[in-house]
Amino acid sequence: MKRREFIRKAGAGSLVVGAGLAGVRTAEAKAEIKWKMVTTWPRNFPGLGTGANKLAKVINEMSGGRMHVKVYGAKELVPAFEVFDAVARGTAEIGHGAAYYWKGKSETAQFFSTVPFGMTAQEMNGWLYFGGGLELWRELYKPFGLIPAPGGNTGMQMGGWFNKEIKSVRDLKGLKMRIPGLGGEVLKRAGGTPVNLPGGELFTSLQSGAIDATEWVNPYNDLAFGLFKAAKYYYYPGFHEPGTTMEAIINQKAFIALPKDLQAIALNACKIANQEMLAEYTARNPAALKTLVEKHKVDIRTYPGDVLETLRKYSREVVEELARKDAFAKKVHDSYMDFLEGSREWGSISDFAYLQARDKA
């Protein structure tokens, strides 16, 4: 290519890039309604952060540009664990996180993310959309001026990363582990010390020894954080998070101010984000697991049966105690448990029986 021709082509290229950026700015500037979305995830973090991006993108596109949602990663506008308050007070109109992060506001909120030895992703969606779960969730957040919606699901998580083998429940004693929600309470009962840290702080905390162990999500996310560089053993199953629902929270006043069609778009965009996140994890975990095992030589271990049995017993205690906190907690607990019971019976002759038959060696 002649030099002049090259310069001309390069110039044309940068012109196109420039026009693209201006296009984005115009779309935001032109929108009648501008919303800020705050999230508990690092910006663009695979699966979770990109799930939040997806939610914003769907709203922007479906509104035909009338509405523009701008996404802020953790700490960009507010710290990860201030998302709930920021949306409640209207600093941002919408947030993306997980309900168990807000147990300081209401312990009952934890039922809407995940329960140790509780429902899978598919069951959570059944309960939330058709089993009365979402109505209860909305009732719980109403006094905070917030409208919640399922906004993603990780599917089955892993047990976590440890630097020592877990041979018996005694090995959990004194263990300082990052594990949020009710799973943390279960660890406490087993003699451990649960701590809650935002995802962005896990790697350095584990590497520096500030914590002894951590759970995060599943192979796709855990590989992205490089947790295999800071711990030897990767345990399963994630008894504490068998299908965690992510949440979108919308400021009620901002929602009411929307025209009816944009209200429908915002809520339906949450459904799309909920579905897509689970599909993405389902698609990406197998390859990530392969990389962890084959390339990074991660030692995959299962919790021994008696450890799981003890953890199951503690889980039941923790959940039952939560149900005794107040009348609303009991109502949510009973709704959740009734649904789980029905699902258990059906599941045993459907998914469970089928997977056993399909994958029998």
Nearer to Ca ion, 67 or 177 (CB): 177
Residues 238, 113, 109, 85: is their CA dihedral positive or negative? positive
For the CB of residue 40, give the shortest distance to Ca ion in the complex, in Å.
12
Q: To the nearest whole angstrom, how small is the minimum distance from the Cβ of residue 350 to Ca ion? A: 26
| Spatial CB neighbours of 58, under 8 Å, sequence gap ≥ 6 | 269, 272, 273
Q: Which is nearer to Ca ion, 212 or 215 (CB)?
A: 215
Query: Which residue has the CB atom at the shortest distance from Ca ion?
Result: 241
Instruction: Tell me how far, at minimum, the Cβ of 185 lies from Ca ion, in Å.
Output: 14
Choose between 108 and 157: whose C-beta lies nearer to Ca ion: 157
Nearer to Ca ion (CB atom), residue 80 or residue 92: 80
Nearer to Ca ion, 196 or 291 (CB): 196
Adjacent-strand bridge partners of 296: none
Distance CA 277, CA 155 (A): 9
Per-residue b or e along 44-59, where b marks 16 or more CB atoms closer than 10 Å to that residue's CB: ebbbbbbbbbbbbbbb
Residue closest to 228 by CA, chosen among 311, 290, 166, 156: 290
Binding site for Ca ion (CB under 5 A): 157, 215, 241
Q: Which is nearer to Ca ion, 45 or 144 (CB)?
A: 45
Amino acid type, 136: L
Please, what is the minimum distance in Å from the beta carbon of residue 154 to Ca ion?
7
Q: How far is the CB of 161 from Ca ion (least distance, A)?
A: 11
Structure tokens at 295: 């390339």
CB of 120 closer than 8 Å to CB of 105: no
- Closest to Ca ion by CB, 73 vs 180, is 180
Min dist. Cβ of residue 49 to Ca ion (A) = 15
Sign of the dihedral defined by the CA atoms of residues 23, 25, 29, 34, in that order:
positive
**Nearest distance, CB of residue 157 and Ca ion, angstroms:** 5
Rounded to whole angstroms, the Cα distance separating 180 from 116 reads 11
- The smaller minimum CB distance to Ca ion, of residues 266 and 319, is found at 319
The CB-of-42 to Ca ion minimum distance in angstroms stands at 15
